[in-house]
A and B are shown apart, each in its own frame.
Chain A
Amino acid sequence: MNADKLTNTQISILIVNYMLATAILVLPRMLVDKAGTPDVWLSLMLAGVISAAGGWLASRLSLSFPGETIFQYGRKLIGKGLGAAFGTSLVLYFLVICGLEARSLEEITTKYLLEGTPSWAVTLPFLWLGAYLVLGGIQAIVQASDLIFPLTGFILLVVLLLSLRVVEFSHLLPVLGQGLPPVLRSMKTAAFAYSGPELMLLLVAYMKRPRSAGKAYAAAIAICMAFYVVTTVIVIGAFSIDGVTLRTWPTIDLIRSFEIPGLIFERYESLILAIWIMKFFSTFVLALFASSLGISQLFRVPFRTAVFAQLPFIYIVQELPKTIEDVFRVWDYLSMAGAALSVGVPALLLVLQRWKKGAAHGRV
């Protein structure tokens, strides 16, 4: 592994790149499905705050074990068996994320770019590419993210600005027409958009200034929240809540819905999707890095072996869901698991660690 340490900005960009991929394409529909009101942007904001708190918790926890990831300090904190169990579930979590990310990519590619291409033909080169980048270590991933983030961020921004023309803000009214319950109901789904605190359990080990990890994470959340809220508002404003629920990929349909005469290309969605593939790639790569790191540190296998050993399993995971609806259902469960893994457990661990420390002090 690389000895170079990461700066705050690098961490923020990594996290933004990790979170902001599939979610933004489907989020409006998933949220509206649950809530049934246009107020979902509120739940997005609340979920963001919760995620920031989770990230802060995770960073606090990691801070007590400088230079170590959760896979290493887990056993020190809660004993060998429990630590390994928690580490393994985290690895599985990341592995499933890899699989789902690959699946979403496959779905989108076969739907919009390469109709009728067999799924393995689409997925395999993608998996290999991810493995290739991951083998370069966290520094290589940072380098790649740094190019992917501005490129995709800029494109997303342009798309959002252009689509302002088709937005009718009356679609967003009434605000809180049914009170808070729908907002709270959709929070669970919104959490799916902010799966990121779990990354802090291992990324803090690579930071140059781990003390400010919480701040770096909060900055990342702020950027993502801005993108999410604006996108959701615009998508709902364009299609109204009834229109949104009818569309599998509402954000993509938004891009399809307007034309800019006079430009070279008429249909942008494929082009933009082609670029969005990079976003899938960066999420995939980071999740693969996390799970490989976990395997290599938990079971003391070389990093290289860990990366390659996972590829078949990722492929199986991505083949498992029958339809795209299944994928979203898995994703729903996964975000629950993520919330538990990344907020609940670290909170418990933190309390435990404080208590242990206190006990140790008491004895001395």
Chain B
Amino acid sequence: MSGSGVGRAEKAWDGDGIVGELREELLDRLETRADMARREISFGRTARALMLYIPGMVQESKLEAIRTEMAAFPAPEHPEDGEAAAERLKLRLQASGAERWTGGLEELLKEVQEGSTALLAEGLPDALLVDTRHIEARSLEEPISEAVLRGPRIGFCESLEKNAALLRSYGSVPDLAMERLEVGSAVRKPLLIVYMRDVVQAGLIEEMKLRIRGLEGDDFPESGYIEQMIEDNSYSPFQQLQNTERPDRVMSGLLEGRAAILLEGTPFALIAPFTLPMIIQSPEDYYERWLPGSLIRMLRFFSALIAMFTPALYIAFTSFHPGLIPTKLALTVVGARQGVPFPSLIEALIMEVSLEILREAGLRLPKPIGPAMGIVGGLIIGEAAVQAGIISPILVIVVAITAISSFVIPVYSAGISIRMLRFGAMFSAAVYGLYGVVLFFLLLLSHLSRLKSFGTPFLRPLGSYRAHDFKDMLVRFPLPAMLERRRFLAADRRDPAKPSE
């Protein structure tokens, strides 16, 4: 890595001179840092300098600038001139990003590992750190997991700097605040808490910082780690922070009084507090006119209900209350089930589980094989199962509706919660019929009523009884009517009776 292959008038450092008393120690430390380039350049008449940096993390043009400046830099004549010369050198390199002088080896190595270049020159007492950081990041692309038909096509990437810049360049937002924290003990990673200074819910940032500072762990490779370790209730089937790749989604969250967490190395930002209505919200609802926006949102709501309860209702009606459905339909359903050797719970479980298997398989397969999977799974298994008389055709319809409905949920991880809970609903329907479905709904309701995300009740705006909070729930009101609503979480902060959590 170091040394060869560079056709310049510089050579790999052979370990002599230049660094004085640091020499032994530096050589020792460099032994296990093979990726660190050590280049010797000459300046003044005979003096030499050593550049330490990590190729690939630095900007070549800045290195070039350092070389040029150094070539023109006169070496100090006497050792006593060192201080003054150092000052001059720093001034010269200011434009190239010269930061500070350091005498500490630890600091030097740490900075170099983060992309700085260290410059050790003969005759100068300390090492100059030059900020040359430049990390190759994926270019900004359309977010895969949250595609919209209408709306900005840009998504976050893996670089924290770029993501922060993306939010800044969203528009001129003087109110936007970012605070930097670090997480991880073995791998230190920077993280940004982003919020709107005047709008953010009272006490939220303090609570968030408290939880993040308390994090223990070697490495946080993805924001999912942080999400799982700072959420209020780990045993809940629901996520309590929203993850998103979309800057516009983050921004609208911030304007509602929420805060976002950006982590280095992942395109997924976290938004907290998360409230249940967010499950059916998509940025598109706002970009389209309010009528289609609202209708589509209601459609999602009913899809969520369908995805969660249809198989359970199928079980309840077929095995407990066939009398509840109209006689003709009942006859059809029962007739279709004739010859099916399983009770309806087993029948539904077989189909639902194989559906989940199909979905998982489709996810793992390389793209060109994916559609083939659909054909094998959907057509052959579904059709064959019915013809073989194991499954009733009505159930195939039910399962298909369920599956398609669960794809409608715009927040992918919330869709998973619904898919899991569906099985719970099926079991309670198998035990108690319709009563079981109601019990399951009440259990869900009780859980959601108890659940909080960063101190905010999960079912908000339910339970707040402020009319304008409801303008963005099931029906997305026309934008002019929503102006007041935008900051609904912030409203808590003007409410003196509400203590900060």
Contact = CB atoms under 8 A, between A and B. Distances in A.
Interface of A: 3-5, 7, 9-10, 13, 109, 113-114, 117, 122, 125-126, 129, 132-133, 135-136, 139-144, 146-148, 208, 264-267, 270-271, 274-275, 277-278, 281
A254 B446 CA distance: 31
A5 B497 CA distance: 7
Nearest to B496: A208
Interface of B: 320-321, 323-327, 329, 432-435, 437-439, 441-443, 445-450, 457, 459, 462-463, 465, 497-499
Contact of A129 (B329, B442, B459, B498): B442
Contacts of B432: 114, 117, 122, 125
A243 to B, nearest CB: 24
B497 A265 contact: no
Contacts of B438: 274-275, 277-278
B463 A114 contact: no
A271 B324 contact: yes
A9 B466 CA distance: 10
B446 A3 contact: no
Given A5-B497, A275-B438, A277-B438, A144 B457 contact: no
B326 A265 contact: yes
Contacts of B439: 125-126, 129, 277
A129 B448 CA distance: 13
Contacts of A147: 445, 449, 459, 462
B163 to A, nearest CB: 34
B383 to A, nearest CB: 27
B446 A144 contact: yes
A274 B463 contact: no
A140 B459 CA distance: 10
A9 B445 CA distance: 20
Nearest to B448: A143
A257 to B, nearest CB: 17
B442 A267 contact: no
Contacts of A5: 497-498
B449 A10 contact: no
13 contacts: A5-B498, A9-B465, A113-B435, A114-B432, A129-B442, A129-B443, A143-B449, A146-B462, A147-B449, A265-B326, A266-B326, A278-B438, A278-B445
Given A264-B326, A271-B324, A274-B435, A133 B459 contact: no
A109 B447 CA distance: 23
Contacts of B449: 133, 136, 140-144, 147
Among all A-B residue pairs, the 4 with the closest Cβ atoms: A136-B450, A143-B449, A133-B446, A9-B465
A146 B461 CA distance: 10
B459 A143 contact: yes
Contacts of A114: 320, 432-433, 435
A125 B324 CA distance: 24
Query: Among the interface residues B443, B446, B450, B498, which one has the most CB atoms of the partner chain A within 10 A?
Result: B446
Contacts of A144: 445-446, 449
A143 B442 contact: no
Given A113-B320, A129-B442, A267-B324, 17 more contacts: A109-B435, A122-B435, A125-B432, A125-B439, A129-B443, A132-B450, A136-B449, A140-B449, A141-B449, A143-B463, A146-B463, A264-B329, A265-B326, A266-B324, A270-B321, A277-B442, A278-B441
B435 A264 contact: no
A189 to B, nearest CB: 29
Contacts of B462: 143, 146-147
Contacts of B443: 129, 132
Nearest to B462: A146
Nearest to A132: B446
A301 to B, nearest CB: 21
B325 A264 contact: yes
Contacts of A281: 442
A11 to B, nearest CB: 10
A208 B497 contact: yes
Given A5-B497, A146-B463, A266-B327, A136 B435 contact: no
Contacts of A267: 323-324
A148 B462 CA distance: 11
Contacts of A140: 446, 449-450
Contacts of A277: 435, 438-439, 442
A141 B445 CA distance: 10
A94 to B, nearest CB: 19
A281 B446 CA distance: 10
Contacts of A146: 459, 462-463, 465
B304 to A, nearest CB: 14
Contacts of B465: 7, 9-10, 13, 146
A271 B324 CA distance: 8
B445 to A, nearest CB: 5
With most chain A CB atoms within 10 A of its CB, the pick from B325, B432, B499 is B432
Nearest to A142: B463
Contacts of B320: 113-114
A294 B435 CA distance: 31
Nearest to B446: A133
Which one of B321, B325, B442, B498 has the highest number of Cβ atoms from chain A below 10 Å of its Cβ? B442
Contacts of B323: 267
Contacts of A129: 439, 442-443, 446
Given A10-B465, A274-B434, A136 B497 contact: no
A127 to B, nearest CB: 11
A270 B434 CA distance: 9
Max chain A C-beta neighbours (<10 A), residue from B320, B445, B462, B497: B445
Contacts of A7: 465
B456 to A, nearest CB: 11
Given A5-B497, A277-B435, A270 B442 contact: no
Most buried by A among B443, B448, B449: B449
A305 to B, nearest CB: 18
Given A143-B457, A143-B459, A133 B326 contact: no
A271 B450 CA distance: 27
Nearest to B495: A208
Contacts of A266: 324-327
A281 B450 CA distance: 16
A140 B327 CA distance: 41
B463 A10 contact: yes
Contacts of B326: 264-266
A290 B457 CA distance: 22
B27 to A, nearest CB: 62
A140 B450 CA distance: 5
B437 A274 contact: yes
Contacts of A141: 449
